[in-house]
A and B are shown apart, each in its own frame.
Chain A
Amino acid sequence: MDAERNGSPGTFGLLAPPGREATVHDERDHASDLHLDQIVSRIASGRDDGPALEELYFRRTRDVETVHHRHRVFQDLDDPEVWDAARRFCGSAREVLSHLSQARAMRVREQRQGWTLDAAATYCAAVRRLATDLGEARLGSQGMADFRRYLLGYAASGEFARLEAESAECKAALGDVGYCVNVDGGRVSVTRYEEEPDYSVEIQSVFERFRQGAVRSYLANYRVWPGMTSVGQQILGLVVRLFPEEFALLARFSERHRSFFDPGVHRFYAELQFYVAYRELIDSVGAGGLDFCYPEVATESKEELAEGTFDLALAMKLTSEGQKVVTNDLRLDRGERIFVVSGPNQGGKTTFARTFGQLHHLAALGVPVPGRRARLFLCDRIFTHFEREEDLSRLTGKLESDLLHMQRTLRSASPASVVVMNEVFSSTSLEDNRFLGAEAMRRLIGLGCLAVCVTFVDELASLAPSVVSMISTIVPGDPTQRTFKVVRGPANGLAYALALAEKYRLTRPQLLERIP
């Protein structure tokens, strides 16, 4: 690839430096437990080639250099001018592609030509604008700078200038065409439009007196009409004869510019979406005051840190409802590997576990992660073990399938893996739960992998020095608010009824505040 001449599409790469083969882990067994599927489908929804884009968010890398390459592209997009330019371009490119695919589906010549012309006009404006926008920008990433060099060369070419001028001329001519159709029985006449008065307006005034408030509209929607009827085709044929110069111009244009979308610009668009789509998510979630950061990444050290982090899927939901998101801090110091999370229900334990899993997935995509500051390990695989609610009715079958699933996880995990266990075996007796939980924990401790385990069995929190006990909290001093804070602290499973009542804000003082 290095041998390719400057200016060819291969000389830039947004997702990785040109020619670099990164190790990639593409698996998604953990996606739904960690709600990554919600995140990814929200990111990719409504975008061009959504499935291919989704794919990119499941392809994790353990290559530190690739992660840094992507961080730098993101950092260029942090510049508001570059960011606006990128978004604008994505919007236009998307329109161009949809019009081109529309054109291919048409069988009437003038229709194909019309869609192509429209796409070309949009394309020209988009490329011109992008070249202007990026021309002045200060770009720090290799990915963006390489592309700019390529783009400026293309925008200055004679081929592009011709496309631009001819599409504008053609558009203007067709925009001025207006005609009338007279339908009388089976006879159809077409004439140039000559200011005949609007008849609907007259009839509507007749019915004005019935109007009272809003009712449904009976207007048929005729805007989207792919293809053309044979009558429509015959009418168009007559319109072409009424306006011969205008249509001759169109025919010449589409003959000359059959495929105008430059392959290099097209690839840039595809790769750019990976960044734009994720960053738009950050913007909408971050608007609620939440931080994202570029994590330090490592493939050796498992000392980890994340300050002010949160569950991204939950944050998407809460911010869209205008609710506040509680952030948490997590830290694994030298020798520490496993979080055991216990404490009152609905206190954010599962959310904490999910957050931990999501962080490792996102870090390995090379995207900014939730939090003010983070240091994360690039893991090989991510395993999850969550209670499935729909299985609850078949308790016996459930225990067995739980155990088999756990067995598969524990046998496949390596010291470089991340394991997330949430309330497993909770349908068994306390004694069984204690026993099975301890067995699973012993295996994880022996592996030395990173893990988080949510449980109500206190004993699991003190099995080894590598285990860190975390507890969900309720704050007695400020009972009007559930905290969702998960902090370091000794496990204490006593859930007293009044603490519960307090959690639901049902003590007398709390109630007096709630009922005005």
Chain B
Amino acid sequence: MKAHLLYPDRDFDFSAEPGRFDDDLLRDLELAIVLRAMAQGDRLLADVSRRVLLDSLDDVGLVLYRQAVLADCIEQEEAVRELYALVVAALEDKRGLLWGIRSGSPAVTLGGAVRQLEAFSVRLRELRQLADRRREVFRSEGFEHLFESIRRDLDDEYLETLRTHLRQLQFRNGVLLSARLDRDNTGIDYVLRAPITKRPSWRERVGLAPRTSYSFTIPPRDEGAANELADLTSRGLNQVADAAAQAADHIESYFTMLRAELAFYVACLNLRSALLERGAPLVFPVPLPSEPARFACGDLRDTALVLQTAGEVAGNDVDADDRPLVVVTGANSGGKSTFLRSVGLAQLMAQCGMYVTASSYRSSARSAVFTHFGREEDESMRSGRLDDELRRMSVIVDAAARHALVLFNESFSGTNEREGSEIGRQIVQALLERDVAVFFVTHQFDFADGFRRSRPSATRFLRAERAAGGRPSYRLVPADPLPTSFAVDVFRRIGGFADADPGASGVDHGDDGPLEVGEEAGSDAVTSKQIG
């Protein structure tokens, strides 16, 4: 029996090792805020949501499969929450009995397993009844299959068979075990034997033949001996207990899988109400195949920012169809990082079958989403900042394949602009040649302008601008990069380039880089505070 609400033909792998980039995505895209709204304090919901969100689908059919299931959930919220509650209750029954099965003694394991199987059989019956009652109102392929399999696999005959076997396992008439001598003369190879009643021969009874049976009785109050005897009996019950406990596990794993797969959709319902409360537009994205490169959105908002903000959050309209490179320049605190996050979040949500916070969204399936954000501090003081950036980039390249999406935020600024631009140019060019889509937020004019000159029609340039009066609008407009860098302020404050003469010494480069970067990191911190 299978749940199959996330894939039509297989289970979701909830035990997969976390991906290598999960931590980066969580931090860079503020995923924790979204997950919190999905979980509503439930750790399981949080864990399931994180796993499903970070495990992007690049198959249009699969995305549509989940969208249909989620649409059912939105329409039949009450029925879905009832089903979920039943499954949770079944697993809670089990938790109440947990002490029995893990003790390690087969006799106790057997007793515990039988009690669990009894409790499960009650819930399986309830599940059947719910399926009988509710199945009519669901339309998606996923739910139709689920209810069908419950009705087929849990028919009356099956439930009755289960009950019979549970009675047989009561086992209270004593046990017969065979054994051999181990090398230390203790008994080994205990095997449960079918008892055959037989009486000693008459020769033996009158003492003419050697005795073939000896016995003893443990004193009634000797608890130690009673325990030892119970332990011995247990050895003979080992195999039987194993079989019963495994059967209980199989049924539990069915409930566990059903709960986990439902949990994702329940979390989506939770997030949906939180977003609707804040007036955010919600839309099911149009998933498109990887080729050709498509990206267009209307009123796209940063989901994390929506959840953190009382008032209205600005959205962006971007049309980047056939423009796999989007370069974002412009004022600090102008919404550049927020935009980058909104794209990353929306793409992850779209590719796991969720709605997104926009009025319209369509994009090509991406084989993976990567973030390369400038870190505020070097993670390791030993390697230089540029060294660290390049190391992280290299790790991304190791994992990247065609049709990936890489979001860069002020990358390769750990050295002077000429060198940083050159490194960035080489990397971005190569990525584009390999059909990797790139969103790049940068202050480096030399870098941005290079692409304006070399590939104007294949690049979308966006700029963050301050509205009149200096207040940022947080909206990006299509506009070419401007040569006047905002680093000029910084440049003046630190007193010019006297120390940054490349000819002076190898060490001075290192001094210059971090200073410039420190300013930028500070500006980003301001953006973060607005979010919080």
Report A's interface with B, CB cutoff 8 A. Answer: 102, 106, 108, 110-111, 113-115, 117-118, 174-175, 177-193, 196-200, 202-204, 206-207, 209-213, 215-220, 222-223, 225, 228-232, 234-236, 238-239, 241-242, 345, 389, 392, 430, 493-498, 500-501, 503-508, 511-512, 514-516
Count of A-B contacts with CB under 8 A?
Answer: 258
Tell me if B381 and A392 are in contact (CB < 8 A): yes
Produce 1/0 per residue, B173-199, CB < 8 A to A: 111111111111111101111111000
Q: How far is the CB of A468 from chain B (nearest CB, A)?
A: 23
Please tell me if the beta carbons of A189 and B213 are within 8 angstroms of each other in the complex.
Answer: yes
In contact, A211 and B246 (Cβ under 8 angstroms): yes
In the complex where A183-B233, A515-B402 touch, is A497 in contact with B415 (Cβ < 8 A)?
A: yes
Known contacts A183-B175, A215-B250; is-contact A106 B184 (Cβ 8 Å): yes
In the assembled complex, B397 has its CB within 8 A of some CB on chain A: yes
Chain A residue nearest to B382 (CB atoms) is: A389
**0/1 string, B230-248, CB within 8 A of A gives 1:** 0111110011111111110
Task: Knowing that A225-B186, A242-B212 touch, tell me 13 more A-B residue pairs with CB under 8 angstroms.
Answer: A177-B181, A180-B177, A191-B213, A203-B169, A213-B250, A242-B211, A497-B386, A505-B394, A506-B427, A508-B426, A511-B426, A515-B401, A516-B401
What A residues does B239 contact at CB under 8 A? 200, 203-204, 219
Residue of B nearest to A235 (CB): B187
| Chain B residues, Cβ within 8 Å of A209 | 161
Chain A residues near B220: list those with CB within 8 A: 186
The answer for the CA separation of A255 and B402 in the assembled complex, in Å, is 77
Contacts of B532 in A (CB 8 A): none
CB distance from A353 to the nearest CB of B (A): 16
A192–B212 CB distance below 8 A:
yes
Assess whether B429 is in contact with A508, with CB atoms less than 8 Å apart.
Answer: yes
Q: Chain B residue with minimal CB distance to A227?
A: B186
With a cutoff of 8 Å between Cβ atoms, the chain A residues found around residue B105 in the complex are 220
Distance (whole angstroms) from the CB of A74 to the closest CB of chain B: 36
Contact B423 A498 (CB under 8 A): yes
| Inter-chain contacts of B178 with A (CB < 8 A) | 178-181, 193, 196
A188-B229, A206-B168 known; A501 vs B212 contact (CB < 8 Å): no
Closest A residue to B254 by CB, please name it: A212
Q: Which residue of B lies closest to A180 (CB)?
A: B178
**Any A CB within 8 A of the CB of B131:** no
Q: Distance in Å from the Cβ of A27 to the closest Cβ of chain B?
A: 29
Interface presence of B159 (CB below 8 A): no
Q: Can you identify 21 A-B contacts, CB atoms within 8 angstroms?
A: A114-B183, A179-B180, A182-B176, A183-B233, A186-B220, A188-B215, A193-B179, A199-B240, A215-B250, A216-B249, A218-B109, A218-B245, A219-B238, A220-B109, A222-B188, A223-B188, A236-B186, A501-B426, A503-B390, A511-B434, A515-B436
| Residue from A180, A218, A392, A505 having most chain B Cβ neighbours under 10 A | A218
| A170 → B minimal CB distance (Å) | 11
In the complex, which residues 136-182 of chain B have their Cβ closer than 8 Å to any Cβ of chain A? Answer: 161, 165, 168-169, 173-182
**How far does the alpha carbon of A113 sit from the alpha carbon of B397 in the complex, in Å?**
65
Least Cβ–Cβ distance between B119 and chain A, in angstroms: 15
In the bound complex, CA of A213 to CA of B175 (Å): 30
CB distance from A181 to the nearest CB of B (A): 5
Q: 1/0 contact trace for B351-367 toward A, CB 8 Å?
A: 00000000000000000
A180 to B169, CA, bound (A): 22
Chain A residues in 8 Å Cβ range of B196 = 196
> B225 contacts the other chain (Cβ, under 8 Å)?
yes
> Closest B-chain residue to A515, C-beta based?
B434
Whether B228 is near chain A, meaning CB under 8 Å from some CB there, is yes
Considering the chains assembled together, what is the distance between the CA atoms of A359 and B191 in angstroms? 58
Mostly helix, strand, loop or mixed at chain A's interface? mixed
**B68 contact set on A, CB distance < 8 A:** none
The CA of A258 and the CA of B25, in the complex, are separated in Å by 68
Q: Indicate if the CB atoms of B215 and A187 lie closer than 8 Å.
A: yes
User: How far is the CB of B284 from the nearest CB of chain A, in Å?
Assistant: 31
Q: Is B176 a contact of A242 with CB atoms below 8 Å?
A: no
- B250: chain A residues within 8 A (beta carbon): 210-213, 215
> A196-B176, A506-B393 are known contacts. Are A114 and B185 too (CB-CB below 8 A)?
yes
**Could you say which residues of chain B place their CB within 8 Å of the CB of A507?**
426
Q: How far is the CA of A108 from the CA of B250 in the complex (A)?
A: 43
User: Shortest beta-carbon distance, B196 to chain A, in Å?
Assistant: 6
Chain A CB within 8 A of B477 CB: no
Closest to B233 in A: A183
Q: Name the A residues within 8 Å of B212 (CB-CB).
A: 191-192, 242
Across chains A and B, which 6 residue pairs bring their CB atoms closest together, nearest first?
A511-B430, A184-B174, A210-B247, A200-B239, A189-B215, A497-B419
Let me know if A110 and B185 touch, CB within 8 A: yes
Q: Are A114 and B165 in contact (CB under 8 A)?
A: no
Which chain A residue lies CB-closest to B193? A196
B371 smallest CB distance to A (angstroms): 17
A114 nearest CB across to chain B (Å): 4
CA of A174 to CA of B184, assembled, Å: 10
User: How far is B507's CA from A493's CA once the two chains are assembled, in angstroms?
Assistant: 9
A110: chain B residues at CB < 8 Å are 185
Q: Given that A183-B229, A200-B192, A500-B387 are known contacts, is A190 also in contact with B185, CB under 8 Å in the complex?
A: no
Q: Which residue of B lies closest to A494 (CB)?
A: B506
Query: Which residues does chain B contribute within 8 Å of A211, judged by CB atoms?
Result: 246-247, 250
Bound complex: CA of A182 vs CA of B173, how far in Å?
A: 11
Set A175, A188, A241, A506: member contacting B426, Cβ < 8 A: A506
Question: Cβ of A207 and Cβ of B232 under 8 Å apart?
Answer: no
B426 touches A230 (CB 8 A): no
Q: Which of chain B's residues have a CB closer than 8 A to the CB of A174? A: 181, 185
- CB within 8 Å for A188 and B217 given contacts A111-B186, A501-B423: yes
For residue B498, CB closer than 8 A to chain A, the reply is no
B104: A residues at CB distance < 8 A: 220
Q: Distance (Å) between the CB of B85 and the closest chain A CB?
A: 25
Instruction: With CB as the reference atom, state the residue of chain A lying closest to B189.
Output: A178
In the assembled complex, B41 has its CB within 8 A of some CB on chain A: no
Is A181 in contact with B187, judged by CB distance below 8 angstroms? yes
B249 x A236 contact (CB < 8 A): no
Q: Provide the residues of chain A in CB contact with B431, threshold 8 Å.
A: 511, 515
Cβ proximity bits B385-421 to A, threshold 8 Å, 1 near / 0 not: 0110011011001101110000000000001000110
Asked if B419 and A102 make an inter-chain contact with CB atoms under 8 angstroms apart, the answer reads no
Residue of B nearest to A186 (CB): B218
A193–B191 Cα distance when bound, in Å, is: 11
Give the residues in chain B near A239, CB-CB below 8 Å: 181
B244 touches A230 (CB 8 A): no
Which residues of A have CB within 8 Å of B506?
493-495
Given the complex of chains A and B, what is the CA–CA distance between A85 and B327 in angstroms?
70
* Residues of chain B with a CB closer than 8 A to A113's CB: 185
Which residues of A have CB within 8 Å of B386?
497, 500
- Contacting residues, chain B, for A232 (C-beta < 8 A): 186-187, 228, 232
B-chain residues with CB within 8 Å of residue A220 when the two chains form the complex: 104-106, 109, 234-235, 238, 241
CB-defined contacts of B383 to chain A, threshold 8 Å: 345
- Determine the residue in chain A with the shortest Cβ distance to B224: A230
Instruction: Give the shortest distance, in Å, between B14 (CB) and chain A (any CB).
Output: 15
Contact residues in A for B42 (Cβ distance below 8 Å): none
- B184 touching A102 by the CB < 8 A rule? yes
Is B214 close to A, CB under 8 A?
A: yes
Q: Are B184 and A505 touching (Cβ within 8 A)?
A: no
Closest residue of chain A to B426, judged by CB?
A508
The reply to whether B238 and A180 form a contact with Cβ atoms under 8 Å apart is: no
B379 → chain A closest CB, angstroms = 13
- Interface residue B473 (Cβ < 8 Å from any Cβ of A): no
**Given known A493-B506, A506-B397, contact A188–B240 (CB-CB < 8 A):** no
